[in-house]
Structure 1
């Protein structure tokens, strides 16, 4: 089940990058993000109610649902979408991979949990791999004040995402299922986005082209309802530290789609980066521990290698 949830998260979130690219245009970022989570929330919660899949919750739980909605379904996306106006999306993906480190730090600060030995090694390998993959974009960037703003927003958005993971850990410890939490939190996130639209005086627009509407529905249903439910289920099963490594791997899927739709060219450095990311993935999922266990077995049973 863990492998299924992990693979689902990587594939679903990896394909949302190209869908987000199709959302850029005449519709303001705040409005597009609101459409996405309003659709997701208004579909998800009533469906669960009809299927009697909504758990009983307390007022305190709803306070944390609001916090989750702010961290996972509104404020982080405001940061990422705005950052994309200042720096290339590949660099944002590199920054987002730091969620592994933020989760390890926040788990220690908020829950008193020590990170597993391989988490930091996995994070280092993954980030090094992504830097290699996107080196041309990074090296060619113009790191002026606007680029610094974009970088700062990317870091802030990633930290919001990590805080949302910590809220999800709280839910899991209380026995709350991800679908109940997400259904409420997405609606709260949409309300936060609506408040931002009203407060900022952002104009309402809707692109009725099939490309925009199709990508919007993909982001709302597979990208949000299914993707976040799979990811937060993984958080509840294996912990935020190891689950967050999906944020390092899913840009590989996004990069493959970029090669089809945006003409990305693979190089030796790109393939080297891919190898580092996959190696980090193996470490994060306990691959080194498994290898060590097999080695001990071989030594004890004197099985020739």
Structure 2
């Protein structure tokens, strides 16, 4: 593993879809998260490199900023490499380029995902984007192999503790950073309701369904908004201590870094209210 990259990311980070918010709001949120102890800020959604600039400018050189995840169908490798080089010149060593193949259901050009990703990474090699500055949104074994061989590692999304353990075995010493959806509600019914609102779109996507079936979930777990077992395995909810326990379990299973995403039921590009944000940042202290 590239230990420098793992150290730069820190134990925890914040994942938020604030890349589409006005730059001043992005900058203010990023400064709050850094002050609370987050060492990495991940731009969620189909983020692209040029959405990172306001956050890079607003935070200190100790903060890493990653895309989580930029679809390889949205930008050619040449455009991505050019933008990476520009940002790297201004903010050396602070960008982690998260790349993914998106979803068959939402991407008209989708085909041969592992083959196309391998070609994309070859083109980035030719353009001078270092392997250690990129990470793949990998779930399946072939993409995890690419993440180990051609990138710093993997950033899987919506995975269980047990899946993280198996991914660690597949990745060897490569970086493993995983997303964790966090619902700051102690009432089980309300917490699961909010989690299911977030989960709804992913239940329609074949790559996630395959991932969960490989993990041992049954068809019934994926029906009717997801079973309690599925929801509780994919999301952390409850008190701050309960959520910290899940983070600790992910790290014990082999995750070097956990990217915490606050799930509120509101649109992901909205910033959390101050009380919820304070609870979120309490996780880092």
TM interval, short-chain normalised? under 0.3
The normalised TM-score by structure 1 is 0.26
Task: Give 1 or 2: higher helix fraction.
Answer: 1
**TM-score, structure 2 length as denominator?**
0.27
Structure number with larger C-alpha Rg: 1
